[in-house]
Amino acid sequence: MSSDSRRNALLDTWTETSSHVFNSVVAANRVAFAAFGVQPSNGDGGLETVERIEADEDLPEWHVELTAADRGRLGVGNKVEFTKTISDDDVAAFAAASGDTNPLHLDDEFASRTRFRGRIAHGTLVGGLISAALARLPGLTIYLSQDLEFHNPVRVGDRLTAVCEIVEDLGDDQFRLTTRVVNDGDVIIDGEAVVLVDELPDA
């Protein structure tokens, strides 16, 4: 190999290595920015704040129905419903937050070869809609227990409703509820929860 060929080969190797290092540094910086709630903008040189949801905030696409607006009136028969659409972003964010990177939820080609014939949402992501519904009860809701049975898969784009109904007043501000997630009439998750509903602390 001539000296020019060796020089060109070394230059190509250096360029490729430098590119990988640069991309790794950029990726690491993005992770660090995200951890502190900021991310690089798309070219204007500034930083954008990552959108964060505030306490007690409801997004426009969510829908809530509640039969008791006062904590003192909670009792058997009271019900709360929470509705939202499961998005691809929801699935990706849950995988990152939980560490559950099962390809059944993230890899279209892999999931197409399973019994589900396509990607499905994490079961515990879907179960989280029950927690979202319970959080809308008047007062400060504290989970004491929850059992779940999974009956049907959920696809990205499915609009689901969690329905929680008080079936027993256990005393000491504790309640037993049936908990269900439905998709257009089909039961996705069925279960039961026990919660403590405290008074809200003084502002």
What's the pLDDT tens digit per position in 62-105? 999 999 999 989 999 999 999 999 999 999 999 999 999 999 99
On whether residue 58 sits in a domain, the answer given is no
Domain extent, residue 19, equals: 3-49
Same domain for 74 and 18?
A: no
Phi–psi pair at 143, nearest 5 degrees: -65, 135
Q: How many domains, the chain?
A: 2
Same domain for 129 and 77?
A: yes
The residue-averaged pLDDT of 175-180 equals 98
Same domain for 82 and 141?
A: yes
* Tokens 């269900």 -> residue: 180
Q: Which residues pair with 162 in a beta bridge?
A: 82, 181
* Entry pTM: 0.75
**Helix or strand holding residue 170 (H, E):** strand 159-171
On whether residue 97 sits in a domain, the answer given is yes
Crossing angle for the helix pair 88-98 and 123-134, to the nearest 10 degrees: 100
How many other C-beta atoms are found inside a 10 Å radius of the C-beta of residue 73?
10
Task: State the DSSP code for 1.
Answer: -
Predicted local confidence at residue 80, as pLDDT: 98
Residue 150, domain CATH: 3.10.129.10
194 — pLDDT class (breaks 50, 70, 90): very high
Same domain for 81 and 28?
A: no
Report how far residue 87's alpha carbon sits from residue 67's, in angstroms, rounded to the nearest whole number: 28
Same domain for 160 and 81?
A: yes
Same domain for 40 and 69?
A: no
Digit-coded pLDDT (tens) for 114-132: 999 999 999 999 999 999 9
On whether residue 155 sits in a domain, the answer given is yes
On whether residue 94 sits in a domain, the answer given is yes
- Judged by DSSP in three states, 61 sits in coil
Same domain for 101 and 41?
A: no
Predicted local confidence at residue 53, as pLDDT: 84
Same domain for 109 and 15?
A: no
Report how far residue 6's alpha carbon sits from residue 18's, in angstroms, rounded to the nearest whole number: 18
Same domain for 33 and 69?
A: no
| Ramachandran quadrant class, 43 (left: phi over 0; alpha: psi -120 to 50; beta: rest) | left
Report how far residue 87's alpha carbon sits from residue 23's, in angstroms, rounded to the nearest whole number: 29
Same domain for 103 and 155?
A: yes
Given a contact cutoff of 8 angstroms between Cβ atoms, the answer to whether 187 and 150 are in contact is no
Report how far residue 199's alpha carbon sits from residue 203's, in angstroms, rounded to the nearest whole number: 12
On whether residue 135 sits in a domain, the answer given is yes
Predicted local confidence at residue 121, as pLDDT: 98
Same domain for 90 and 184?
A: yes
Same domain for 39 and 95?
A: no
Report how far residue 75's alpha carbon sits from residue 175's, in angstroms, rounded to the nearest whole number: 8
